[in-house]
Amino acid sequence: MKAVVQRVSEARVEIDGAVVGRCGAGLMILVCAMQGDTEANAEALAGRIAKLRVFRDEAGRMNRSIRDTDGAALVVSQFTLAADTARGNRPGFAAAAPPETGEPLYEHFVAALRAEGVPVETGRFGADMKVHLVNDGPVTIPMER
């Protein structure tokens, strides 16, 4: 699985003008299931993100995790993270898991992150979404598992 993790002061996702998920201070996580990914990959990535120390401590260092700060996460499926731009001008997405396996893996990732003690809201798999966020820092970290 691939993810782009952004530390945010707030984030929300809208579908057809209606807010379907939001969080305050915490993490905006774009996630993509790749061909060959398993539930174990989803669990491992969720565990790493829950423990990722990207929040400031008293000394101003990035030394605290989302669990340490009682933050929340907004998780949005994003198959375009699988983009292959090696040839031509149009990205290819063949490395992304097909929807029939990608959606259950996305849902498993969300459940695994919740099991790590992180409050999670989501977008809607496969929907045309508008994502709004205020990147804090900015801090943006790509991750794979």
Residue 16 near residue 46 (C-beta atoms within 8 A): no
Cβ atoms 78, 142 nearer than 8 A: no
The answer to whether the pTM exceeds 0.85 is yes
What count of other Cβ atoms lies within 10 Å of the Cβ of residue 20?
17
Residue 133 lies in a domain: yes
What are the distances in angstroms from CA 130 to CA 5, 71, 76, 98, 119?
A: 17, 22, 10, 22, 21
Range of the domain at 103: 2-138
Percent of the chain with pLDDT over 70: 100
What number is the average pLDDT over the span 100-121?
A: 98
- What pLDDT was estimated at residue 18? 97
Give mean pLDDT, residues 81-92: 94
Joined together, the tokens standing for residue 52 give 């990722």
With respect to residue 24, please indicate whether it lies within any of the assigned structural domains: yes
Q: Are 65 and 51 in contact (CB under 8 A)?
A: yes
Catalytic residues, which ones? 78-80
Kindly report, residue by residue over 11-32, the tens digit of the pLDDT. Answer: 999 999 999 999 999 999 999 9
Q: What is the CATH number of the domain that holds 9?
A: 3.50.80.10
- Within a domain: 13: yes
What share of the chain in percent tops pLDDT 90? 98
Angle at 130 between CA 125 and CA 131, to 5 degrees: 90
Q: What is the pLDDT of residue 33?
A: 98
pLDDT of residue 145: 87
In a domain, 144, yes or no: no
Q: Is residue 143 part of a domain?
A: no
Note the pLDDT tens digit of each residue in 29-42: 999 999 999 999 99
**Average per-residue pLDDT for the chain:** 97
59 belongs to a structural domain: yes
Q: Tens digits of per-residue pLDDT, 46-64?
A: 999 999 999 999 999 999 9
Q: How many domains does the chain have?
A: 1
**Residue 145 falls inside a structural domain:** no
